[in-house]
Amino acid sequence: MVHLWGLSCTETYLKKARKTISKMMRLQWINELDIDTIECKGHWATLEELLEVLACYLPRYDNALKKCKDKPATVSPLELSFGTKYLAVYLFIKVKGSRPMTYQFLTVEMLRTAKTNGGLIDLKMFKTAGKYGFDSLFFTDTSMQVLDSCIEHIHPHLKPTCEYVLVTRNVGQHNKLGELMSKLVFDTIGKYVHQTRYRQIVETVSSKKLSSNAQGTISEDQKHSSVVARVHYQKQ
């Protein structure tokens, strides 16, 4: 009986320890994502800087695309791989700073359907929506043209064995999209920006340039709290 009581006390202390550690981790996480902390580290980027990333790599992407169309025999595996990387970053920055899983499971068929639906892909179209919590996507005519060009000219060289838009040189589904964006952004502007931080940046800009109703719509669409934006805006 005494032995069981001792085990019970040990379990209680372990639970308290886990709660304490969990609380400390949350506090550390909140502190590290604080706007002032991010700015001090030099990792709070502007939308203009992020657009520079696409502009910087556009000539390289266009060159790979041109080779695929005009001189397919001269296209290297690295150029094909870069085409996919550029398209992934384009989707995050120009279409929507969505969760990586959204673009990982984006299919060619979904894009075909979007063309008949005003450019919209509803989250219900994702077969794994219940598991991963996808966002809806809206493609403008320009973004659709960019995707079509990649699928028409780069995809055939990759010869994907799956239905997804973003595939690797191993012809399978790409599952490291978040890393692609962070690396290309850092290599260009020297700032570490992942998808969550990008949504924070969008919210901050929207709080300055849009009405409260429009900003609320942006916040709801991104599935991200606008508290970050309000705090940053109040400090300006």
Please give the average pLDDT of every successive group of 10 residues along the chain, which has 236 residues.
52 66 57 57 80 94 94 91 92 86 88 88 62 70 93 89 86 83 89 81 78 72 50 40
Give the rounded distance of the alpha carbon of 108 from its chain centre. Answer: 19
Q: 221 to each of 38, 97, 98, 114, 178, how far by Cα in Å?
A: 24, 10, 10, 18, 19
Would you state the pLDDT for residue 60? 95
The tens digit of pLDDT for each residue in 125-155 reads 665 444 545 567 889 999 999 999 999 999 9
The tens digit of pLDDT for each residue in 48-76 reads 999 999 999 999 999 999 999 999 999 99
Nearest by Cα to 115 from 155, 143, 89? 143
Quick check: 202 and 218 in contact, CB under 8 A? yes
Question: Which one-letter amino acid corresponds to residue 220?
Answer: E
In the structure encoding, which two tokens stand for residue 157, read together? 């060289």
Nearest by Cα to 199 from 174, 224, 220, 169? 224
